[in-house]
Amino acid sequence: EDRAITATVRPAVRTPAAAKKSKLPPAATPTTPRPGRAKEKRPTS
């Protein structure tokens, strides 16, 4: 289950704990992290 959530939260892979703490749906997970963080993770991916 944790792996499936991380896969759905690809942009928020850096903050998997935050998504788990919020226990929000996969649609709300990518919105949790800041746009700057998601952009920084984009080139890394």
Instruction: Report DSSP letters for 2-23, one per residue.
Output: HHHHHHHTGGGTT-HHHHHHHT
**pLDDT tens figures, 1-45:** 555 555 555 554 556 666 566 665 555 555 555 555 555 555 554
Closest to 44 (Cα-Cα) out of 18, 15, 11 = 11
pLDDT of residue 40: 56
DSSP at 31: T
The three-class DSSP label of residue 17 is: helix
pTM of the model: 0.16
Domain that holds residue 13: 2-44
pLDDT of residue 22: 60
Number of domains in the chain: 1
